[in-house]
Structure 1
Amino acid sequence: MGVVRTDKWLDEEFEKPMRICQKFMESFLEDNPDKIYNYLRTFGMYKPNRKTFANYQQMKELNIWDCAEKIFDKYKKQWRGPDIPVYIFPIASSNGLFTKQENRKSGVAFKDKLFLFISPFEDEQELEALFVHEYHHICRLKKQNKRLEEATLLDSIILEGLAEYAVETCCGKKYRADWCNYYTRKEIKNYWEKYIQKDIDVNKNQRLHDEILFGYKGYPKMIGYAAGYEIVSMFNNKREITIRDSFSLDSKRFLLEME
């Protein structure tokens, strides 16, 4: 497993990403590559154009795939994490949840695979920060071992908060996502009481889950993510958790330290 050489696929099929997505049909239990491509695009997968092709060429010059392989080996060993395939593609020219003006990146993690969508940044720590966030998801999801229908809004909020806690621990505060600084702790507590607390048991399959988590339909922008980071920070200030602890602690444990 490890980092798949998607650069070889892109050399052959850059203009036809749906052909690339045919390779994922069995993994996604899906017989329509268009659906897979459209789904991955919501997380930042590239659309063929001059800009994304130029980005891809720069990514090759920077040996992104070799760098990612070293990062994967480091954390798989350090965290005793699962040996899953990691797929790397250029990010869309204007997309991504985890966006900085100069270093744009995004990703999506599953229990058995990981997709990273990136721009050709030269600071390898940016790539490591993205990997840490997404791979932490995979390690926690494996340890929690919950079915999709069992996962709640609280589970997702804590999942995201813990992933950025891991980024801060492993890479430093400089590499945290921008949404960690969107709100003050006081604002987070107010938003928690006003928007989130009553709906923490909303199922992941329900529309309200994403509306709160990402801040759609009138909810504050990225409030679920920002609240998750703040809740984990409050918990860590009192109990100081290790990365290994963060894979197994139950989501509701983190609410005990909210003041």
Structure 2
Amino acid sequence: MFKEDRAKRVYQYLVNFGMYRPNRQTKEIYEKLVEQKVWGKVQSIFVKYKKLWRGPDIPIYIFPFEPHRKSKEKKSGVSFPDKLFLFIGHIEDDKEIEALFIHEYHHVCRIHNQKKQIEEYTLLDSIIMEGLAEHAVKQYCGKQYNAYWCQMYKEKELLKYWEEDFKENLNILKTEKLHDSLLFGLGPHPDMIGYCLGYYLVSNYLNQRNLADIRLFKSDSRVFIQSILDDE
């Protein structure tokens, strides 16, 4: 990705995921990241999980996080098959940085193991990918480091949205507009509903099983919804 895109378009895309805009506040964040030696810490975390997950050797780009008035989030990221970006704000707990890295690098490892083009990914693939990444965060950092959206909705609500919005749209492609609307909860859809549903589905599946990370990277997305389909 980005090979033929103009710099302005790439920058705007990254801004949507938390990339900083130049101002006094983000300059202070950058200076704090330097003081905390965040680049070195991330490198150590990368070495750890690259070995543990037999993951690919990719470049990691770290930038200040753009704080939002409507959100308490202090970090975010976005990953691609051949690179990942981490956007980090004022964070004192190094485990928060590790949790962010785990989530994004888990995506990279799963993409490498799934052996298909990004354009071929479906809504089901996307929600399961998000759920698996946060399950890894819980496994290695603890539940307290899970993203806020993991517990946004109760089971009854999730099952309602599953029936009404997701069940019949699992095969829509990543390139289709409805994909992001359901995944992120845009327009009339509840905020982050696809992410939360993915975490719910993965948790239900793994609560009854003890599977190695390597196996989960290779598992087809449909195995994680078999139990909910069987219950219907």
Question: Aligning the two structures, in what range does the TM-score lie when normalised by the shorter sequence?
Answer: over 0.9
Identity %: 49
**Paired residues for 1:198-209 under 5 Å:** 198-209=168-179
Counterpart code for 1:255: I
Counterpart code for 1:33: A
Quote the Cα distance in structure 1 between the aligned partners of 2:69 and 2:37: 23
Quote the Cα distance in structure 2 between the aligned partners of 1:86 and 1:147: 21
Shift of 1:31: 5.0
Q: Deviations over 1:228-247 (max 9, x none)?
A: 00000110122232222220
CA RMSD between the two structures = 1.5
Q: 1:185 to 1:47 in 2, by over 3 A?
A: same
Quote the Cα distance in structure 1 between the aligned partners of 2:84 and 2:65: 14
| Matching of residue 249 in structure 1 with residue 219 in structure 2 | yes
Q: When the two structures are aligned, how many residues end up with a matched partner?
A: 229
Counterpart code for 2:29: N
List runs of 5+ in structure 2 lacking aligned partners: none
Aligned counterpart for 2:89 among listed residues 105, 113, 119: 119
- Residue 120 of structure 2 is matched in structure 1 by 150
- Residue 190 of structure 1 is matched in structure 2 by 160
Quote the Cα distance in structure 1 between the aligned partners of 2:118 and 2:33: 34
- Residue 107 of structure 1 is matched in structure 2 by 77
Shift of 1:95: 8.1
**Paired residues for 1:168-183 under 5 Å:** 168-183=138-153
Aligned counterpart for 1:234 among listed residues 186, 204, 211: 204
TM-score when scaled to structure 2?
Answer: 0.95
| Matching of residue 75 in structure 1 with residue 49 in structure 2 | yes
Quote the Cα distance in structure 1 between the aligned partners of 2:69 and 2:42: 21
- Residue 11 of structure 1 is matched in structure 2 by none
List runs of 5+ in structure 1 lacking aligned partners: 1-26
**SS of 2:76 mapped into structure 1:** strand
Counterpart code for 2:216: S
CA contact under 8 A between 1:238 and 1:257: conserved in structure 2?
A: no
- Residue 140 of structure 1 is matched in structure 2 by 110
**SS of 2:61 mapped into structure 1:** strand
Shifted more, 87-96 versus 171-180: the winner is 87-96
- Residue 33 of structure 1 is matched in structure 2 by 7
Counterpart code for 2:227: E
Shift of 1:194: 1.1
